[in-house]
Structure 1
Amino acid sequence: MMQLDDTDHKLLSLLSENARAPVATLARKLNLARTTVQARLDRLESSGAIAAYTLRLGEIARPRIRATALLSIELRAGPAVLQKLKTLPAVETVHTCSGRVDLIVQLAADSTAELDDTLDSIGEAKGVKSSESLVHLSTRLDRTRS
């Protein structure tokens, strides 16, 4: 098992701040030759100390909050409810279904406040008898994206 020294820890700390930092910049900050830093990076990668380089999203690129709303609607209210749902920007898809509810509505919002407002608008829509919302917490399987 490989032991990490102080220089390795400093290098990992710099990479945790910016995984895309050029080797020359890392070498300058560590006061080492570029070839020495590259050799250390190669050793850290091959030993498994560095498992992957990753991306941390900024506020503007964070994933949207996703939810599903299950709607029960009044008899013959489908067209009016669908028309209302089309006016709500957070509504992505609407599916008819069999079972205890009539419509499944997929939602995506940039904030919980936007999601809350959208759910309020759906619940207040003429023809909606009841609604239940399910906020998506994490994705465990997604076969829709390649």
Structure 2
Amino acid sequence: MKTLDDIDRRLIALLQDNARLSTVHLAKSVGLSRSAVQERVQRLEEAGVIAQYTVRLGSQGDPLRAWLLLRYADGFTCDDVMPALARMPQVQACHSVAGDIDLLVLVQAGTPAQLADLREAVVALKGIDDVTTLPVLRTLLVR
């Protein structure tokens, strides 16, 4: 795929803000024809730049979220713990990071008790030495 230009980036930003925008609205916003925008969006989808369209819940539907900062036990790696984490539906994202923490895991639960149970399940996984839990109090920006 060719590199993204300013119009591609503007289209992506508009769709990130509201994935339901019509092609006509997108075209007017970036100053192109409807067909040109359709072609660009299709190219972005085919290239994997746009991977999916999703729904972001409003404040009434906000789940309880937390970041779990994991450290592996000696001799264990990401490959050892990721299969178990991937099987947990509450796990939303996992990021391998450098530094004192080995894995940054975003989780969500319906209640504080469910979050506590989830944390305990992660602590009990083979290969996990330590877990620090950082509950998300408020989300200020999502792109």
Work out which of the two has the higher radius of gyration on C-alpha atoms and give 1 or 2.
1
Deviation at 1:105, TM superposition (A): 0.1
- What RMSD, in angstroms, separates the aligned Cα atoms of the two structures? 1.8
Aligned length: 85
Q: Say if 1:123 and 1:130, in contact at 8 Å, map to a contact too.
A: yes
Shift of 1:143: 4.0
In structure 2, what is the Cα distance between the partners aligned to 1:129 and 1:89? 22
Look up the match of 1:112. Answer: 112
C-alpha distance in 2 between matches for 1:89 and 1:112: 17
82-91 or 127-136, larger mean C-alpha shift: 82-91
Find the counterpart in structure 2 of residue 72 from structure 1. 71
Structure 1 residue aligned with 2:23: none
Q: Which secondary structure does the structure 1 equivalent of 2:118 belong to?
A: helix
Question: Residue 138 of structure 1 aligns to a residue in which SS?
Answer: coil
User: What secondary structure sits across from 2:62 in the alignment?
Assistant: coil
Following superposition, the deviation at residue 111 of structure 1 comes to: 1.4
In 2, distance between residues paired with 1:79 and 1:104? Answer: 14
How high is the TM-score relative to the length of structure 1?
0.53
- Report % sequence identity: 26
| Equivalent position SS for 2:126 | coil
Gaps of 5+ in 2: 1-57
TM-score, with structure 2 as normaliser: 0.55
Gaps of 5+ in 1: 1-55
In 1, the alpha carbon distance for the partners of 2:71 and 2:121 equals 15
